[in-house]
Amino acid sequence: MDLGYIVALAVAAPAIIPLIRWVSVITATLARGPGSSCPRCRSKNTRRAMPRTSDVFFPAFLLAHRCEECEGRFFALQSVNYTNPNRILRPSRPLISDGAHSASRR
């Protein structure tokens, strides 16, 4: 192997290793599906974990959790509300027409 390839690999390794971890965490979380049970001990006694600086790069639907039993840290899927929670959504037109409230036909 040429010395140039070894130097290029040594320079690229700090960028490749976190990318491989990022893809593997997302793949494992999506394969596990929704729910916040611990993948190690299957305990339902979990809580949200304090975010680390590396968690900024994960999508919003992946949240870090920590198991109270085995104290393992894992990621779980969470639903994300993309709308403004302060805004009340109202239909632009009534869902039931005015004629639907009239007497039944015979």
Amino acid type, 52: R
Q: What is the pLDDT of residues 56-93, one digit of tens each?
A: 778 778 888 888 888 888 888 877 666 665 655 555 55
100 has a pLDDT exceeding 70: no
Specify the DSSP element, H or E, that contains 30.
helix 3-32
Query: Which residue did the predictor score with more confidence, 68 or 103?
Result: 68
For residue 66, what are the contacts with CB-CB under 8 A and spacing of at least 6? 46, 47, 48, 49, 72, 73, 74
Its domain, for residue 39, covers: 3-81
**Structural tokens at position 44:** 């339902």
Assessment of whether the complete model's pTM goes beyond 0.85: no
Burial of 32 per CB tally in 10 Å (0-12, 13-18, 19+): middle
Does residue 38 lie within any of the structural domains?
A: yes
Q: Is residue 88 domain-resident?
A: no
Tally of domains in the chain: 1
